[in-house]
Amino acid sequence: MSRWIDYWCNAFTPDKRAHWDAAIEAQGLEIRIRRRDDDSFAEVDTMVERMDELDIASLVLPCGQAPVGADSSTFELFATGFDDIEKWSQSHPGRFAGLYTLDPTSGIDGVRRAEEALAKSYFVGLHIHTHSWDREFDDRDYYPYYALAAEYDVPVVMQAGTSGGRTASACGKPIGIDRPALFFEDVRFVLSHTGWPWVDEALAMVSKHRHVYLGTAAYPPHHWSDALVRFIDGAGRGQVMFGTSFPVVGHRHALTRLADIPLSDEARSGLLEETARRVFTRLAL
């Protein structure tokens, strides 16, 4: 089995299960979360053991702090806390890295907070939970963060495609990355969640811009379109990364499903690890 990197893993400790259950019940979501003991929420040491078993080199974790009075749909409730990523990155070097979840409504104060985060080596990129803000990717409020990513040579990872909850979906259309990609040629952009249902649009953006990448988080391999599979094994080789959006997709479940996808050895190794290492240059080997 090849080593691999999960470029988008939500907070995984058992205390987060209640937040997922509350959100699913309150919003009537169709999202299912992993509940098998060997593929579900786990304490840190247990997760590291699972990673060793499944040859997972690193988990990249969107990080944030939920505001006071957050409701069940607030993304930061499902994100890894700042204190946790600092502690885990020190106790398990190279196994856990963070994406700083930005807030485009917070003006220059938000940009400064993001810069303070990127000064810490365990933050390997910026993260946009797109549907929390109902802003397209070329919204002017994002541009200071794109400039920051260029300055610190880190990627920007964003959810692309439809919203999973009761928030507007149109802001996640993949073509929105076209103008930022033209302007910020030194920034690596990652369109996550395959861009579904606009997968072909996402593939067009990745084909057009060599510094735009596609991530598969939240969509296990048996849900990938034929066009996506052909792209991974052909023209898009080296531009697609494997992820889970755990606990939406479990790590064991994802690997089991990937075994059924016909890919060349070169395409598979790129998907699982090599592309992520080119994108997240701060990740420890």
Closest CA relative to residue 3, chosen from 193, 188, 280, 275: 275
- Parallel/antiparallel/unpaired status of strands 96-101 and 56-63: parallel
In a domain? residue 120? yes
Q: What are phi and psi of 193, to 5 degrees?
A: 60, 25
- Parallel/antiparallel/unpaired status of strands 123-128 and 156-159: parallel
Tokens coding 13: 């400790």
User: Which string of b and e fits 131-152 if b means at least 16 CB within 10 Å?
Assistant: bbbebbbbeeebebbbebbbeb
Question: What pLDDT score was predicted for residue 208?
Answer: 98
> pTM, whole model, 2 decimals?
0.96
Question: What pLDDT score was predicted for residue 273?
Answer: 97
| Residue 205 one-letter amino acid | M
pLDDT tens for the 285 residues of the chain, in order: 569 999 999 999 999 999 888 877 777 666 777 788 899 999 999 999 999 999 999 999 999 998 877 787 789 989 999 999 999 999 999 999 999 999 999 999 999 999 999 999 999 999 999 999 999 999 999 999 999 999 999 999 999 999 988 889 999 999 999 999 999 999 999 999 999 999 999 999 999 999 999 999 999 999 999 999 999 999 999 999 999 999 999 999 999 999 999 999 999 999 999 999 999 999 987
Question: What pLDDT score was predicted for residue 201?
Answer: 98
What does the DSSP assignment read for the chain? ---EEES-B---SGGGHHHHHHHHHHHT-------STTTS---HHHHHHHHHHTTEEEEEEEE--PPTT--TT-GGGGSBPHHHHHHHHHHSTTTEEEEEE--TTSHHHHHHHHHHHHTSTTEEEEEE-GGGTT--TT-GGGHHHHHHHHHHT--EEEE-SS-SSSS--GGG-GGGGHHHHHH-TTPPEEEEGGGTT-HHHHHHHHHH-TTEEEE-TTS-GGG--HHHHHHHTTTTTTSEE----BTSS-HHHHHHHHTTS---HHHHHIIIIIHHHHH-TTS--
- CATH number at 141 reads 3.20.20.140
In a domain? residue 136? yes
Tell me how crowded residue 28 is: count the other CB atoms within 10 A of its CB. 8
Question: What pLDDT score was predicted for residue 24?
Answer: 78
Question: What pLDDT score was predicted for residue 30?
Answer: 65
Contact 80, 124 (CB under 8 A): no
Residue for token pair 């069940």 = 72
Largest CA distance in the chain: 49
In a domain? residue 285? no
In a domain? residue 171? yes
- Angle in degrees, CA 177, 234, 187, rounded to 5: 30
| Residue 34 one-letter amino acid | R
In a domain? residue 138? yes
Domain count within the chain: 1
In a domain? residue 284? no
Which structural domain, as residue segments, surrounds residue 160? Answer: 4-279
Question: What pLDDT score was predicted for residue 22?
Answer: 82
Distance of CA 63 to the CA centre of its chain: 11
In a domain? residue 22? yes
In a domain? residue 128? yes
Tell me how crowded residue 30 is: count the other CB atoms within 10 A of its CB. 7
